[in-house]
Amino acid sequence: MVKYNKIAFVIFSLVIILVSSCRKDPKITPVSASPYSFDYPAIISEYLPPIQTPNTNPMTDEGVELGRKLFYDERLSANNTQSCGSCHLQSASFSDTTSYSIGIDGIAGNRNSMPLINLGWMNSFFWDGRAIGMENQVYQPVTNPIEMHTTWPNVAAKLQQDGLYPALFLQVFGTDVIDSVLVSKAISQFMRTLISGNAPFDKYLMTGSSGWNAIDEQLAYEGFTIFMDETKGDCFHCHGDSYNPLWTDNSFHNNGLDVFFTDNGRGAVTGNAFDNGKFKTPTLRNLVFTAPYMHDGRFTTLQQVINHYSQGLQNSATIDPLMKHIGNGGSQMNPGDKSKLLMFLISLSDSSFVSNPKFADPG
């Protein structure tokens, strides 16, 4: 892959950090909060290191609960109608069910909401990776003119007038003066707890049994071999193998969606034409819940996604070298292999994640 323009990337990252905060970001010492202990699924503990949290934002039980309350608070939008949870639905694995999320003014964005899964092992966020660090990611939707369309001072003023929030911020952050920095820290604490790793395939890897019937289990395993086969599914280069529970390489690729681009993706961030048409590799976790698919939600079913890689690849100047079957328009999988690959992808969906009460709106 061609390297992106490092200078432009560094400059952009510094600008985001400088403009997103309302004040200097000091190290926080919780007043009366209890340290948070992550509850890692077995597959996560086996193959991934513990989440490293910023020393300026130590995780606490009370901080996570404050973040959950803020995540679902519609006062983060200008007209008090939308929260973070409005476009990141737990039932949809914290993604949206429409191709383009609709903001408070009834205007659609230009990309599908990415699911919020296992974020603690990621550094860059959004389809184009424009936010470095989770705390910086949280700032952007609030001030985005299409999404929540407000200002952080307005949000802070509304929360400050609430009868409960000042005391909660005092407990977690040692101050009852609410601002954008502390709101971002709290929401980030909650988002780091959104860990998924109890799908049938996870159980199969750890115990030898997925909990499914023998036929479906066998089909899913055969689908995994197709996933790993360079002549068939050829998916593992970008999405990882059984030793990568994230099912993404956290990098950016042009996966052959278009010949010409109406959205330059990563290229719009780096300013490097070689990055045009590249988008972050999404996780394959919980695909049963996260339709529609791709950065613009163009595919409504997993069958359409599989057909794209099998016979729908489009060539362009920045097509990723990993799309080795571009000359044939795809890997040309037969119907049986497609069905097995589909069963494997389904086996990566964790129903406990979308029903976990710890992630739900506290009301």
Sorting pLDDT into bands at 50, 70 and 90, what band is 243? confident
Residues 6 or more apart from 42 whose CB is under 8 A from it?
Answer: 197, 202, 206
Tell me how far CA of residue 128 lies from CA of 56, 69, 190, 193, in angstroms: 26, 28, 23, 23
Do residues 299 and 306 lie in contact, with contact meaning Cβ atoms separated by under 8 Å? no
Please give the domain boundaries of the chain with CATH numbers for all domains.
Answer: 6-196 (1.10.760.10), 200-352 (1.10.760.10)
Q: In 208-288, which ranges are continuous DSSP H helix? A: 214-228, 236-239, 266-270
Do residues 9 and 123 lie in contact, with contact meaning Cβ atoms separated by under 8 Å? no
Sorting pLDDT into bands at 50, 70 and 90, what band is 25? low
pLDDT digits (tens, 9 = 90+) for 108-162: 999 999 999 999 999 999 999 999 999 999 999 999 999 999 999 999 999 999 9
Least confident of 79-88, 107-116, 191-200, 238-247: 238-247
Distance, in Å, from the CA atom of 236 to the CA atom of 194, rounded to the nearest integer, reads 24
